[in-house]
């Protein structure tokens, strides 16, 4: 490695450029370990990626991935959409000018929220002690809530709480033998925040992953309905972990949190689609120019709040008995590299942190909005210092993320079955298209977009990683390239027909997957889980 020497006489000429302060990136990287911020995070860069040099100013990437169908759709809806992009960008920048703070101001604000490690640890142990000495149900309910709020404010304190074996035993007793339903729910949420996981429902952990795809989610619902009929159970009663991205996040939330059957989910899903995607071209074009959003984002938010609930947070959904672990995937687009953001209704066991940033305290409707904020369809979502777009920008097939999160939650349990549901794919030609000179600009752009939104690449990797008897992928073929916002009745009926035909053709594979999902624990597993529960109740809990 060569070294360049600089003569002393040239030093006055070299002046260091003043470093620009990026409010978003600085506050994200300089957050103290014990901060009052509620956001949690894993690695700041994905495994294998190198961090940006400290002296370089990272440009905020503007991602227009996940618009393969979007780009084609807008060409037919809006005249000269690329002109709209250029005009809208300048107006949006002028409208959303961010006030830049000095580095000193940022550090001062950070110091105001900083609490010493010893103070936080002492408070955690004091709250634990109050739970252990409380006698009445009302007192226990209040103390458990206080501890839950404290852990959400300072996530690393879950490690301190998990080390208190008597606390875990006390909370488990409240859940198993308690008489107050409200106390049971609060204790169940507190155990979830500490990282204590319930045993799997079957012979091992059952995982469901649902792709994005707009209204094509109807095709994935056809597959899930077949599994529901074959098993005789609701989807939330079969799976331990459910992960969704974009339209998959909507389906996952309805099936998990609401406990809907697939038929109820389909009815609610289509009702939302018809309300949201019925809009004039002129209004959509103006939205593109002014807000980079073809559809009305405010209407979308109001629909979500009414359907899901305005006050329900991700962690609140863990209060119900037998509720699966839920992961909703979005994409962070204001970092040097695009990264996933995982909205969770669970926390990992102490000492087993995820590679991916995420949080538990955000509202469920916010999580769905961020996961389905498709570029040019809906506005981006600002979450603290992060800017989030559709999860399909990073991973339109979230199976690999779901597998990663599952192994962290149940490291000592086998993966019994992984079901990955796609929302439609077209039949592509296997022969290359003859060209005279080269591909057009539009073809080049669409190839880049297709590669960024590819779902079958993830499928191939997971297929090679897991045994054939464990991993099942269902992705119906489409006779027509349906749009993400398709609401034409004839097209919807054809879409349902395509999905029904696929289900009939793959009935034996669906039966095999359902049989695997319904396997009950064997004798050895039942004995092991009973012994572990007894040990935990006696105060011998150890994090996995």
Confidence at residue 92, expressed as pLDDT on a 0 to 100 scale: 43
Element holding 148 (H helix, E strand): helix 137-153
Confidence at residue 326, expressed as pLDDT on a 0 to 100 scale: 97
Tokens encoding 312: 């329900």
**In whole angstroms, what is the distance from residue 378 CA to residue 246 CA?**
12
DSSP code of residue 19: P
Identify the three-state secondary structure at position 249. helix
**Catalytic residue list contains 498:** no
Tokens encoding 377: 């369809």
Catalytic residue among 69, 390, 485, 536: 390
* Direct distance between the N- and C-terminal alpha carbons of the chain, in angstroms, rounded to an integer: 46
**In whole angstroms, what is the distance from residue 247 CA to residue 237 CA?**
21
Confidence at residue 434, expressed as pLDDT on a 0 to 100 scale: 59
> For the chain, what is the largest distance between any 2 Cα atoms, rounded to a whole number of angstroms?
83
* Phi, psi values for residue 53, rounded to 5°: -60, 145
Identify the three-state secondary structure at position 483. coil
Ramachandran category for residue 472: left, alpha or beta (phi over 0 → left; psi -120 to 50 → alpha): beta
Confidence at residue 105, expressed as pLDDT on a 0 to 100 scale: 64
* Tally of residues, the chain: 544
**In whole angstroms, what is the distance from residue 330 CA to residue 250 CA?**
12
Angle between helices 247-256 and 217-231 (to 10 degrees): 30
Residues 254, 215: contact at Cβ < 8 Å?
A: no
Q: Residue 11, exposed/middle/buried by CB under 10 A (0-12, 13-18, 19+)?
A: exposed
Pairing outcome for strands 325-332 and 386-390: antiparallel
- β-strand partners of 244: 210, 328
CA distances from 226 to 84, 172, 383, 474, 539 (A): 43, 36, 37, 12, 43
- Domain regions of the chain by residue span: 117-194, 205-279+291-427+438-520
Tokens encoding 46: 């994905």
Catalytic residue among 246, 318, 371, 420: 246
Residues 223, 476: contact at Cβ < 8 Å?
A: yes
**Catalytic residue list contains 69:** no
How much is the pTM?
0.77
Low-confidence ranges of the chain (pLDDT < 50): 1-67, 75, 78-98, 429-430, 441-442, 444-452
Residues 373, 250: contact at Cβ < 8 Å?
A: no
Location of structure tokens 């003043």: 18
Element holding 341 (H helix, E strand): strand 339-344
**In whole angstroms, what is the distance from residue 408 CA to residue 416 CA?**
15
Identify the three-state secondary structure at position 347. coil
Confidence at residue 82, expressed as pLDDT on a 0 to 100 scale: 42
**In whole angstroms, what is the distance from residue 132 CA to residue 367 CA?**
35
- β-strand partners of 419: 208, 472
**In whole angstroms, what is the distance from residue 308 CA to residue 311 CA?**
9
Q: What topology is assigned to 205-279+291-427+438-520 in CATH?
A: Cytosolic phospholipase A2 catalytic domain (3.40.1090)
């Amino acid at each position: 490695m060569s070294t360049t020497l600089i003569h002393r006489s040239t030093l006055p000429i070299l002046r260091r450029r003043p470093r620009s302060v990026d409010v978003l990136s600085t506050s994200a990287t300089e957050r103290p370990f014990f901060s009052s911020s509620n956001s949690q995070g894993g690695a700041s860069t994905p495994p294998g990626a190198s961090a940006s040099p400290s002296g370089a100013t990272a440009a905020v990437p503007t991602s227009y991935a996940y618009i393969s169908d979007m780009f084609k759709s807008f060409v037919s809806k809006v005249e000269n959409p690329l002109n709209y992009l250029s005009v809208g960008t300048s107006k949006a920048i002028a409208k959303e000018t961010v006030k830049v703070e000095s580095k000193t101001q940022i550090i001062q604000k950070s110091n105001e929220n900083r609490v010493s490690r010893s103070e936080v640890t002492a408070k955690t142990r004091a709250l634990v002690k109050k739970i252990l000495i409380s006698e009445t149900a009302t007192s226990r309910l209040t103390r458990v809530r206080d501890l839950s709020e404290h852990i959400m404010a300072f996530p690393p304190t879950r490690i301190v709480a998990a080390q208190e074996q008597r606390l875990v035993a006390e909370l488990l007793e409240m859940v198993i033998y308690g008489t107050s339903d409200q106390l049971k729910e609060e204790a169940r949420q507190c155990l979830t925040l500490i990282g204590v996981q319930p045993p799997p429902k079957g012979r091992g952990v059952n995982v469901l992953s649902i792709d994005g795809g707009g209204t094509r989610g109807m095709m994935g619902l056809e597959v899930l309905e077949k599994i529901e009929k074959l098993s005789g159970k609701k989807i939330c009663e079969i799976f331990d972990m459910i992960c969704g991205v974009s339209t998959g996040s909507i389906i996952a939330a309805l099936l998990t949190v609401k406990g809907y059957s697939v038929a109820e989910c389909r009815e609610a899903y289509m009702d939302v689609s018809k309300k949201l995607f019925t809009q004039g071209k002129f209004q959509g074009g103006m939205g593109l120019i002014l807000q980079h959003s073809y559809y009305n984002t405010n209407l979308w938010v109001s629909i979500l709040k009414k359907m899901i609930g305005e006050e329900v947070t991700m962690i609140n959904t863990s209060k119900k008995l037998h509720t699966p672990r839920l992961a909703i995937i979005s994409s962070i687009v204001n970092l040097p590299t695009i990264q996933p953001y995982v909205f969770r209704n669970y926390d990992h066991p102490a000492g087993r942190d995820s590679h991916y940033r995420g949080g538990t305290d955000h509202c469920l409707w916010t999580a769905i909005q961020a996961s389905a904020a498709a570029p040019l369809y809906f506005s981006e979502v600002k979450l603290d210092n992060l800017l989030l777009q559709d999860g399909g920008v990073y991973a339109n097939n979230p199976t690999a993320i779901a597998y990663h999160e599952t192994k962290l939650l149940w490291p000592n349990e086998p993966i019994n079955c992984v079901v990955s549901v796609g929302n439609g794919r077209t039949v592509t030609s296997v022969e290359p298209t003859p060209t005279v000179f080269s591909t057009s600009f539009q073809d080049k752009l669409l190839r880049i977009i297709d590669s960024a939104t590819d779902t079958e690449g993830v499928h191939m990797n997971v297929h090679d990683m897991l045994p054939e008897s464990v991993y099942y992928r269902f992705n119906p073929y489409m006779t027509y390239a349906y749009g993400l916002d398709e609401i034409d009745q004839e097209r919807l009926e054809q879409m349902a027909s395509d999905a029904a035909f696929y289900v009939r053709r793959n009935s034996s594979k669906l039966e095999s997957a359902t049989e695997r999902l319904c396997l009950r624990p064997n004798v050895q597993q039942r004995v092991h889980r009973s012994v572990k529960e007894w040990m935990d109740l006696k105060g011998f809990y150890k994090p996995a």
